[in-house]
Amino acid sequence: MAKTSTGADVGARSAVAIRGAWKGGTFHVSNYAAGENDLGTVDSGWASLQADFKLGATRIAASGREVNVRYTRVPGVPDWQLRNLMRFEVQEIGDQSGAEVASDFNLLPRPPEIEGEDVVLLAMARESLLEGHSDGVEVAGGSVEAFSPASIGLYNAFVRYGVVEDDTVLLANIGHETTDVVLVRGADLVFARNLTGGSGLFDEALVQRLQLSPARAEATKIDHVDLTPGARHATPEGEKATRAVMAAAGQLTSLLQSAVMFCKSQVKLTGLKVDRVLLCGGGAALRGLPRYLSAGMGVPVELFDPFRVVDTSALDPEAADRLAAHQLESVVALGMATMASDPEAYSLEIVPEALAKKRAFLGGTIWLIAAAVLAVAFLGYRVTYLNAKLDRLTGENRGLASVVARARDIHSETEALVAENARLVAETTALQSIAGSGEQLARAVAFLDDSLPGDFWITRVESAFGTDSELRVERGNERPILSIQGQARDGVQSPTAQFQQLLAELEETMPYAALNPSIDRNKFKIEMTSFAGALEETGEDDDGSE
């Protein structure tokens, strides 16, 4: 019997839940709920859902700044060794961020360009985000089955319900604050990532350029903005609003283009070329956006509608109308429900630590009971045996008393040496930081000398000890931070794209460095440090050198 499952996607502007089962080569929707998330928080999103059915065990989409999807290329190793490698990497990232993270990983299909190595997709999410969703789904009458990156839900929706050909497709789920993207070649997942930035860029542009309130800006965006190239606006307000958001539209284009460039550098597929783009998410409904992106990216861009091949006949008329009104926002939730119901779907299942412990306990209860019975019988035997042994050890204890006295003296001397060693470590760390500051500056200048685009120049370079939470350098643990400021020549083409390419090359050249980049029109700034999470008590750098 097909497993009935629920998929949910709670974003900054909407919340969607789909329940149904995968059978007969398609998904059969039995229930649907959608709500408007006016406050933009996880709690308000779940509260707005108001489902009139029991959610049950729910697969929840995870996205945003607190979710990290990474790629790791490893030699072909046994499963147990791969699990250890991934556990060590998650542990290292959790220690650097100072936050508890939950994770899962899965192998990607090996591209023909890569030989002798496996490509591992590793997804991590902060426990604080998962706890917020866990509380929310309980309020909505459900429970957590697992969390998966929204991009993986998007991928499953495409391979099950999209037109899959022998081409490379970029899928983008455009939310208000984030954009989830996947690159698919044929039916194979090549790349998945969650990006910061979405339809909120247009709202911000209208607020700043036209001095509108956030609510009025969103209404103006929906009613008047038309990004269709060469469109004739019926009202002056429409023309004015469209001009105000053109820079934001360019940012979104650069965001998608930078995702492709990052995939090429990250997965080492330099010859990868996108053949078409499919859009979904609430932000994709902006009038004229597909044609605008098509002109900017040079490939066909269309809206992705998987519900054309999904069976929704079991929905009542009211739920069917809600689904029709929120189809673009419901694609990820559909992918989540499909992933949970179809055992053959490609999946990443992030489980919070508390839920993992609970499942481990329930799964092992019967064995614990059996072990307890055996333990009681064994303890009876051990009591008799140990009583006899106690008498013998009492005599030996007297002879060991003198050994303990000598050991205490040695312990006192050892403590004094440990304290002196700690003082020397602190001095060594400070000296190593000073030396590392110069080396960091030299490496950064050498990189800029080789890789800075021709239309870019540097206006200021400053290296100083300081703290920066974005760079994981906390107060009381000051480290050398390098600040690079510069600008691009006025009128230069795609400064944001060139800046993103520069960052990708910098990350490849100095993968151990933590970056905090920003760009505003033609001015940019990069704050970086090679000492985030480094020079701790071990006195080791990221590369393991003393």
0.85 exceeded by the pTM? Answer: no
Alpha-carbon span 524 to 499, nearest angstrom: 8
| Confidence at residue 371, expressed as pLDDT on a 0 to 100 scale | 67
Q: What is the dihedral of CA 458, 463, 464, 465, to 10 degrees?
A: 120
| Confidence at residue 105, expressed as pLDDT on a 0 to 100 scale | 92
User: How long, in residues, is the chain?
Assistant: 546
- Helices 200-210 and 214-224: crossing angle in degrees, nearest 10, is 110
How far, in Å, are 67, 358, 362, 369 from residue 165 at the CA level?
30, 43, 44, 54
Alpha-carbon span 353 to 537, nearest angstrom: 28
Helix/strand/coil for 400:
helix
Alpha-carbon span 228 to 224, nearest angstrom: 12
Question: Vertex 123, ends 122 and 125: CA angle to 5°?
Answer: 150
- In the chain, where the domains are located: 4-357, 428-529
| Confidence at residue 542, expressed as pLDDT on a 0 to 100 scale | 43
Nearest in space to 175 (alpha carbons), one of 156, 203, 215, 155 = 203
Contact 204, 283 (CB under 8 A): no
- Helices 200-210 and 236-244: crossing angle in degrees, nearest 10, is 110
Question: Vertex 25, ends 21 and 28: CA angle to 5°?
Answer: 30
Q: Provide the pairing of β-strand 168-174 with 276-280.
A: parallel
Alpha-carbon span 528 to 247, nearest angstrom: 27
Q: Provide the pairing of β-strand 276-280 with 4-10.
A: unpaired
User: Torsions phi, psi of 432, nearest 5?
Assistant: -65, -35
The arrangement of secondary structure in 4-357, i.e. its CATH architecture, is 2-Layer Sandwich (3.30)
Half-sphere exposure of 191 (CA within 13 A, CB side): 28
3-state helix, strand, coil in the chain (%, to 5): 50, 25, 25
Alpha-carbon span 469 to 510, nearest angstrom: 20
Alpha-carbon span 189 to 273, nearest angstrom: 14
Question: Residue type at 326?
Answer: H
Query: Strands (DSSP E) along 294-408, which ranges?
Result: 301-303
User: Torsions phi, psi of 540, nearest 5?
Assistant: -105, 150
| Confidence at residue 536, expressed as pLDDT on a 0 to 100 scale | 44
The sheet with strand 14-23 has its strands ordered as: 26-36, 14-23, 4-10, 56-62, 142-149
Could you say which residues of the chain have pLDDT below 70?
Answer: 1, 359-372, 429, 432, 533-546
Half-sphere exposure of 161 (CA within 13 A, CB side): 25
pLDDT in tens, 166-215: 999 999 999 999 999 999 999 999 999 999 999 999 999 999 999 999 99
Alpha-carbon span 282 to 457, nearest angstrom: 38
Contact 193, 70 (CB under 8 A): no
| Confidence at residue 366, expressed as pLDDT on a 0 to 100 scale | 56
Alpha-carbon span 17 to 116, nearest angstrom: 41
